[in-house]
Each structure stands twice: as structure tokens, then as C-alpha cells.
Amino acid sequence: MLDVNRNENIEILSFSEVKEVSGYVGNYNIIVKMKPRYINEDCNGCGACAEVCPVYTSNYFDEYLGARKAIDIAFGQAVPFLYDVNRDSCVECFSCIEACELDAIDFSQVPKEVKFKVGTIIIATGWDIYEPFGEYGYGEFENVITQAQLERILAPNGPLEGHVRRLSDNKKPKEIVFIQCVGSRDSERPYCSGVCCMLALKNGKLLKEEFPDANITICYIDIRTNEKGFEEYYQRAKDSDIKMIRGKVGEFSEDPESKDIKIRVYSSLTDEIIKIDADLVVLSTAALPSEGTQRIVKVLNLDADRNGFLTESHFGLMPQETKTKGIFIAGFAQGPKDIAYSVSQARAAASKVAELTAPGEIDIELITAEVDNEFCISCRRCEKECPKMAIKIVDEEGAVVDEINCDGCGICATCCPTQAIDIRYYRDYQLYAEIDGLLEGG
């Protein structure tokens, strides 16, 4: 992030949201809504405001396991390094204003819109974590956490400074159970999140290093280690005395006194029911398309699959392209994938952008729709059916085709009730002549 921030050719609009996109490849008009931080650019991140703030609220960066002030910075490596005010928690005592020597706090800030033009767009809106409230005691039992929460606990800058403890009594865990595929691989979310197996193995090994005498068990449907070096890592995890149970957890309850979690799981490999009294349970929850992905689908009129991930033009041949020229996708926005896959797809998307934005000329297909306005009745059927939004009804002119975005699919021609639209180089008489030639040759 720091390298990106230092690059003079990159402008970061943080705390912002894309509201509207219009135009076509090479000439997109973007409107971005910038939300108020109530902190201006004079802030140098000294932290004097946070020191005097009397209000504590939950820390979303620490997966709500820790606390932060109502005025604070998101995390230590945030870019840009600016504080922000949580107005939902702020009591407006204005102690921060008195403490700030640079007059960087401005409670009069309001949302503002920024408009600019771009030639191409890459969508990399990331992912969200499924919150399994009501499943396996999450949100009810103190010692049931998610993998995301465990990641923050293991982090040196996390709420427990990297040392794992039970949340109920701050004791060292001795019996730890990972439960895989929580919220995925079912009828509602049939897909695999792609990262949970390796994440559980990695965190299991870290816990084994910190607590060598602890019993660590992973309950799984199947372990998916299909990338380079993953299978070897899986074998090393097994050799480190991490127990694997192939089966889903059936019964799940809490001991009200010890706060231990009583688990019964059926092993499909040994055909036995195994009972475990766990003092810490970690749920590997599903990866979801981010809220930003859902919003950008509507803003850009893109396609998404049944799970909410963006749909590419062709999974094998054009995995970065969308149905709209000049708009590309990368990372988890397109579907679940690990870091290496995300990086390679991001590089491919950047390469595609470079092809279009490099100096010089590019070739485009001439097979596009043509309108005979003498027959056009401005019924708007073509406008509604065009998947690329490449045809619009203009007053007095009728249907007008955007030849840059049009790819000659022919949908508009098939739905036109007056046959006012035809496809260049694929007109009916040309097709008939080709058919006649084939028949004569036979």
C-alpha cells in the first residue's frame, strides 16, 4: 500500500464509493462520492485527538474483539495515514478539536462528489466474511470464534498481541477444534471458498508451535490442496500431530460452568462417533462477494452468477473481460481464489488495460448494428434488450448505435418489430446468398 501511495501516477480516493459510470471504452465518465472523515489533509497522524477522546467503541479492524476510540485511525499501516471520526459513537465533546494543534478536525465536512474521466476500469472489490450467527454457538458461546477473528488474535498488532487465549477466562487453550465449510458447500452456497483449508492448516501449525501439548483437530468435508506445494504443507501439518476427522459436526453444546464446548462428530473414514470437549472452537466461514461487488453490478450493469460473483466473458479464454468493453475484473470479485491466483489475475487485467491505453491505435470489429431510421418507430425494445447498452433512443433520430461498444450480437435485430435494424456484413440477403451457394455446390 505504501508503494502505491508513493507512486505519482496513482491517485487514491479512500473512504469513497463509485456512484455512477457512463460512457464507453476510452471515454468513461466516473462520479465518486467521497464520504466525510471530519479530518482534513493537515492531519499528521500524531494521535493527540485519540488520546483525549473519552468514547470507546468496537474495533471493526480487530473483528470486534478489541476497542477503539470514536476518533482513531483504522490500523497502523492505513493509507492514507489519516484519522477519522465515527459520528455514530461521537458525543461531540470537541476535546479532539482542542487537542489538535493543526486544526485538522472539521465537523462541518459533508459528502462531496468527484468527477473524472478514465479510459478503462478494473473491478477488484474483494470479499466479505460470512457471519455464522446461530450456527455452532457463534455469538452465543464465548469460546467459539471465526478464522478471521483467530487471524487478528494471532497478529502481533491484534487485540491479544499475538498470544491466543480463551475469550471467556483468558486461559491457554488445550483442546482446539477447527470446523470447516461453515456457511458453504451447502444448498445455499454450493461453492468452495478456496482458501479455508490452507488457512486452517496454517493456523493449526501456528497454534501447535505456541501450544505444543495442545490437541488440535480439524473436522472437514474434504481437504482441498490443489496448488503448488499445498499437498506437502498438508502432509507436514499431519506430521505435526494435528488430527484430521473427515465428517461434519453433529451435536454441539456448552458446559455452563467451564465454558467448554462439547462436540460429537461422525468420522466417515473410521465409521465411529468421536466426542471432544473443546475449550476453543474455530469456524472456517464462507467467503462472500463483498457489498461493493453487489453495488458495482448495478452501477455498471454487469452480470453476476447465482452466488453474486462477477461473470467473465469466457472462463477459460477471457477470464478478465466482462461483457462491456474496457471493464475488467480481478481477484475475489470474480470468484473465490487464493493470493497467488489473485495476483496473477490482477497482472493479467493490468496487461489488458495496457493494451487499450497504450499510445497508438487499436483495431475494433466492424460487425456492428445499423439502423434504418426510416423504419424505426422508437419502441425502445432494442434499447432494453441490448446487453452492452450500446443502443439508445434519441429524440427525433430514433435508435442510435454506439459502434465502439456494439459487438454485433444481433439481439437488437431479432427483437425489432419493423426490421429497422440489421447487422453489418451479416444482412439477410447476404446470408441467403451464402445458403444458395452452398445448395448449388451440393
CATH value at residue 164: 3.50.50.60
- Whether the CB-CB separation of 61 and 74 falls below 8 Å is answered with yes
Q: Does 114 lie in the same domain as 15?
A: yes
Interatomic CA distance for residues 399 and 386, integer angstroms? 12
Q: Does 280 lie in the same domain as 180?
A: yes
**Which residues are paired to 115 by β-bridges?**
31
Interatomic CA distance for residues 173 and 165, integer angstroms? 6
pLDDT at 427: 81
- Inside any domain, residue 364: no
Q: Does 282 lie in the same domain as 297?
A: no
Q: Does 327 lie in the same domain as 339?
A: yes
Write down which residue in 268, 287, 306 finishes a domain: 287
Full domain range(s) for residue 33: 2-119
SS3 call for 200? helix
CATH value at residue 62: 3.30.70.20
**Mean pLDDT on 34-53:** 93
Write down which residue in 287, 307, 323 finishes a domain: 287
The angle at the Cα of 174, spanning 173 to 176, to the nearest 5 degrees, equals 75
Q: Does 39 lie in the same domain as 90?
A: yes
Grid coordinates given for 115:
468527477
Q: Best-predicted range by mean pLDDT among 259-263, 312-316, 430-434?
A: 259-263
- Whether the CB-CB separation of 304 and 289 falls below 8 Å is answered with yes
- Inside any domain, residue 19: yes
In eight-state DSSP terms, residue 253 is: E
- Inside any domain, residue 219: yes
CA distances from 127 to 168, 310, 333, 407 (A): 30, 12, 7, 31
- Whether the CB-CB separation of 30 and 52 falls below 8 Å is answered with no
pLDDT tens, position by position, 324-371: 889 999 999 999 999 999 999 999 999 999 988 877 777 777 889 999
Q: Does 16 lie in the same domain as 141?
A: no
Q: Which of 162, 167, 164 is nearest to 140 (CA)?
A: 167
Q: Does 62 lie in the same domain as 146?
A: no
pLDDT tens, position by position, 91-142: 999 999 999 999 999 999 999 999 999 999 999 999 999 999 989 999 999 9
Q: How confident is the model at residue 442 (pLDDT cuts 50, 70, 90)?
A: low
Q: Does 272 lie in the same domain as 154?
A: yes
Q: Which of 371, 309, 319 is nearest to 347 (CA)?
A: 319
Interatomic CA distance for residues 319 and 265, integer angstroms? 40
- Whether the CB-CB separation of 71 and 84 falls below 8 Å is answered with yes
Residue partners of 183: CB distance under 8 A and separation at least 6 = 130, 132, 135, 189, 285, 286
- Inside any domain, residue 363: no
In this predicted structure, the answer to whether residue 168 has a pLDDT above a threshold of 70 is yes
Q: Does 226 lie in the same domain as 165?
A: yes
Write down which residue in 119, 136, 157 finishes a domain: 119
Q: Does 169 lie in the same domain as 279?
A: yes
SS3 call for 316? coil
pLDDT at 221: 93
Percent of the chain that is helix, strand, coil (3-state, to 5): 25, 25, 50
**Mean pLDDT on 427-431:** 81
Q: Does 146 lie in the same domain as 97?
A: no
Q: Does 213 lie in the same domain as 109?
A: no
**Mean pLDDT on 270-287:** 95
- How many domains, the chain? 4
Peptide bond into 289 cis (omega under 30): no
